[in-house]
Amino acid sequence: MGRRIPGRAAMTRQGLAAAHRIVVKVGSSSLTSRGRLDAARLDALVNALAARRSVGTQIVLVSSGAIAAGIAPLGLRTRPRDLATQQAAASVGQLLLAERYAASFARFDLHVGQVLLTADDLHRRGHYGNAQRTFERLLALGVIPIVNENDTVATQEIRFGDNDRLAALVAHLVGADALILLSDVDGLYTGRPDRADASLITEVDDPAVLAEVRVSGTGSAVGTGGMATKLDAAAIATSEGIPVLLTAASLVGEALEGRTGTLFGAVGGRSTSRLFWLRHATTPRGRLVLDAGAVAAVVQRRMSLLPAGITAVTGDFDAGDPVELAGPDGAVIGRGLVSYDATDLPALLGRRTLELPEGFRREVVHRDDLVVL
């Protein structure tokens, strides 16, 4: 029997079955066998998604598998470890993957559109808004977007890390009603699923319980993710009011009806796209260290950050870049968009606003451009 962690999750399974817009994420290992794209597995996924689409639900599919699909055509035995060969495999495999999805959905007279994203597309505010408009237009036209990280051009420094996190970001980006993460296992267990004493956790509402669950962060032979990345994705989405269902890809039909897997109930309200972008989709370019008074002003009174409360600056950033805000003990307490270049700030630290030269009498981080973490 499964273990249930009491809360509101039981109320959201029916909501998931009635959701109007759903993001579904599927991993490489669920689409491939022996390093090759498995047509039967892909068709089974499409069958379930098309059935849900036929009743009017809008579907966004975040699909891994490009690199895995390119392994066999390039004569490789296993997933390449070096970035250049990964990018080469992605270049070949992404085309095969998109063609296969297009052909499979065409059986139901459905059209797909390929959306390849890099982390930089979501890190930059202008690109973020453009991606949002593109998704809305595709969905309005009845197209099923097929999303993947653009592995062909992404670098180690600007990667999402795994498509689980990408799926959580996309779920907020498109205003999804629910996020479904498809895996090799049918849900979250209290231990390794192959252990006799491990039991399925059917519902989770309290994020604190996740710290008590022992999970592995190691992915499959052809993928990059593991249960840890799925829990991270669930934390992002549920904190923004989006329930998450985790189950096996073979149970996708039941998942779309909320009848299987582990359901993570929404625990927060949906923030504006700007604040969500700042919290989850930006990469800090530097760090500002605050004194205790400034920490209290930012965290408790939600005030803007002034030069007087900053004791140190690290990093190389320009005005408008995201930076971390840390307390005297080094703990990060927030993130914001800085209004000064890194080279200008040292001369301003610890000084009252009226003591500053004209042209420098402004907030270092305005409260409208700041999120508390």
Instruction: Say how far apart CA 43 and CA 40 lie, in whole Å.
Output: 5
Look up the domain containing 322 and give its range: 284-372
Highest mean pLDDT among 78-92, 147-161, 272-286, 295-309: 295-309
Q: How many domains does the chain have?
A: 2
User: Mean pLDDT for the chain?
Assistant: 86
Q: What band does 324 get if pLDDT is binned at 50, 70 and 90?
A: very high
SS3 percent helix, strand, coil of the chain, rounded to 5, is: 40, 20, 40
Mean pLDDT of 246-274: 89
Same structural domain, 268 and 289: no
- Least Cα distance to 143 among 63, 66, 61 occurs for 61
Cβ pair 25, 149 in contact under 8 A: no
pLDDT of residue 208: 63
Q: What band does 155 get if pLDDT is binned at 50, 70 and 90?
A: low
Same structural domain, 288 and 263: no
Mean pLDDT of 15-42: 89
pLDDT of residue 281: 74
CA torsion sign for 20, 21, 25, 30 is positive
Domain boundary among 273, 300, 316: 273
Domain boundary among 273, 308, 328: 273
In the predicted structure, residue 157 carries a pLDDT above the cut 50: no
Statement: the pTM of the whole predicted model exceeds 0.85: no
CATH code, domain carrying 184 = 3.40.1160.10
Higher pLDDT, 257 or 156: 257
In the predicted structure, residue 100 carries a pLDDT above the cut 80: yes
* CA geometry: angle 244, 270, 245, nearest 5 deg: 5
| Residue 338 included in any domain | yes
In the predicted structure, residue 156 carries a pLDDT above the cut 70: no
pLDDT of residue 342: 96
Mean pLDDT of 156-182: 82
pLDDT, tens digit, for every residue of 202-215?
A: 988 776 655 455 34
pLDDT, tens digit, for every residue of 71-90?
A: 888 988 888 888 888 889 88
| Residue 278 included in any domain | no
CATH code, domain carrying 354 = 2.30.130.10
In the predicted structure, residue 333 carries a pLDDT above the cut 70: yes
What distances in angstroms separate CA 169 from CA 79, 261, 351, one per listed residue? 26, 21, 39
Higher pLDDT, 101 or 239: 101
pLDDT of residue 3: 61
Instruction: Say how far apart CA 114 and CA 147 lie, in whole Å.
Output: 6
Same structural domain, 259 and 320: no
Residues with Cβ < 8 Å from 293, sequence gap 6 or more?
Answer: 309
Domain boundary among 251, 273, 295: 273
Same structural domain, 203 and 343: no
Give percent above pLDDT 70 in the chain: 87
Q: What band does 218 get if pLDDT is binned at 50, 70 and 90?
A: very low
